[in-house]
Amino acid sequence: MKLALKKVDIVEVGPRDGFQNIKKFIPTEVKLQIIEGLIAAGIKKMEITSFVNPKAIAQMADASDITEAILASKYRNFQPIALVPNFVGAKKAYQLGIKEVTYVISISEAHNQANIRRTHEQSFAELKQIQDEFPGLTIRVDAATAFGCPFAGEVSDELILQYLDTVADLGVKEVILCDTIGVANPEQVARIARMVQERYRGIAFGLHLHDTRGLGLANTLAGLQAGMTTIEVAVGGLGGCPFAPGASGNTATEDLLNMLHGMKIETGIDMDKYMQVVELVKQHIQPILSSHMATICKPE
């Protein structure tokens, strides 16, 4: 199978989405070692942390320390991203020097209430507040439950378009379609990818696909064929939404790299160096990972 595209932009979300479900607190120095290793392997964009209330996700209690350390290192050609669930989180990220944030609004209002305890109206109003208060901040929107909701079930095309109409009216330039609980299939991903790209020419879309039912790579390939070139993945396949019952890990970055490199598609990431980071994750965070490459590749 030959794809027209020559390069895929990989956004690493392991240090945020991957770590947030780990119950035992990961020492800050271990998190930094992994983040630095990912950068050394060639990762250019990464969600390094989340400015969420530690009472909700205790793993992110060191968000400020992580951010300060990474920004102080002044890595060239690297863009750190922080996830923010609200205005307070955006303010903290901005004050620390973060230039780009991910703001989450679920397409399913039921999941939005469970995830961030807000209605759509409240979430969009707060997004507007962040835009007005921090005009220099780049805001990418995570459209959670784009392919299905653990509470409401199927998400209709009408609801997706209604949601994106509001996002477009607010002037958002990047939206990530998220398969929060891993229920998508390749036909669905391709169809929705084509639909939104044709309708919203001013928005750059990406995909965040979980591997709950083993379709992470198949869905990613369907998205690539439909013109998506930005893919969010996590080291080791770690992660999953803590407020979505049944949501297991993300598609593993190393598995995606293996597929893309085998297809002669550029990523700018050194596979050998990346696998060294996978070993760090196995040693310090979770010894058994869901990714295939973590199982078959042993360190020399």
In a domain, 4, yes or no: no
Instruction: DSSP for 272-286, please give it.
Output: HHHHHHHHHHHHHT-
**Residue 266 forms part of a structural domain:** yes
Whether 247 has a pLDDT exceeding 60, the answer reads no
241 an active-site residue? yes
Say which residues have a Cβ less than 8 Å from residue 30's Cβ, sequence separation at least 6: 280, 284, 285
Asked if residue 231 belongs to a domain, the reply is: yes
Q: Which residue has the higher pLDDT, 153 or 18?
A: 18
CATH number at residue 206: 3.20.20.70
Residue 286 is assigned to a structural domain of this protein:
yes
Q: What sign does the dihedral 268-178-13-122 (CA atoms) show? A: positive
Taking the C-alpha atoms of residue 110 and residue 264, their distance in angstroms, rounded to an integer, is 41
Q: What is the pTM of this model?
A: 0.94
Residue 112: what pLDDT? Answer: 72
Q: Report pLDDT for 1.
A: 58
Q: Strand 204-209 vs strand 174-179: parallel, antiparallel, or unpaired? A: parallel
Per-residue confidence band for 296, with pLDDT thresholds at 50, 70 and 90 = confident
Split into its structural domains, the chain has a count of: 1
* Residue 230, token pair as written in the block: 């930005």
Neighbour count for residue 61 (Cβ, 10 Å): 15
Residue in 149, 178, 241, 297 annotated catalytic:
241
Residue 118: band (very low, low, confident or very high) from pLDDT cuts 50, 70, 90: confident
**Is 126 within the bounds of a domain?**
yes
Give the tokens for residue 130. 């962040």
Highest mean pLDDT (candidates 105-119, 194-208, 240-254): 194-208
pLDDT tens digits, one per residue of 185-243: 999 999 999 999 999 999 999 999 999 889 999 999 999 999 999 999 999 999 865 54
Q: By mean pLDDT, which of 34-43, 88-97, 184-193, 239-248 is the weakest? A: 239-248
Give the mean model confidence (pLDDT) for residues 4-31.
94
Residue 128 confidence (pLDDT): 98
List, for residues 62-89, the tens digit of each pLDDT value.
999 999 999 999 999 999 999 999 999 9
Structural domain span for residue 215: 9-296
Digit-coded pLDDT (tens) for 121-149: 999 999 999 999 999 999 999 999 999 98
Cα–Cα–Cα angle for 241, 273, 40, rounded to 5 degrees: 80
Assess if residue 2 is contained within a domain: no
The answer to the question of residue 259 being in a domain is yes
